[in-house]
Amino acid sequence: MTVTCLGCGCACDDLEVGVSQGRIESVAPPCPLARAWFGTGQVPDRVLV
């Protein structure tokens, strides 16, 4: 799946993420900022503010 990353402000729009069982498994091309920004892609059941 092709996605846009806003992790550093460059708005790279050519990233491919690999998703398995609802979690992000890989980001290509490899970018440590994108990987940290996307995390696992998991959303918590509750958001506390």
Mean pLDDT of the chain: 87
Give the pLDDT mean for 19-45: 85
- Measured CA to CA, the distance from residue 33 to residue 44 in angstroms comes to 21
pLDDT of 42 > 80? The answer is no
Q: How do the domains of the chain map onto residue ranges?
A: 2-38
- Contact predicate 19/25, CB 8 Å: yes
Q: pTM (2 decimals)?
A: 0.63
- Measured CA to CA, the distance from residue 40 to residue 10 in angstroms comes to 21
Is residue 40 very low, low, confident or very high in pLDDT (cuts 50, 70, 90)? confident
Q: Which helix (H) or strand (E) holds 7?
A: none
What is the residue type of 27?
V
pLDDT of 47 > 80? The answer is no
In the numeric block, which tokens belong to residue 13? 């729009």
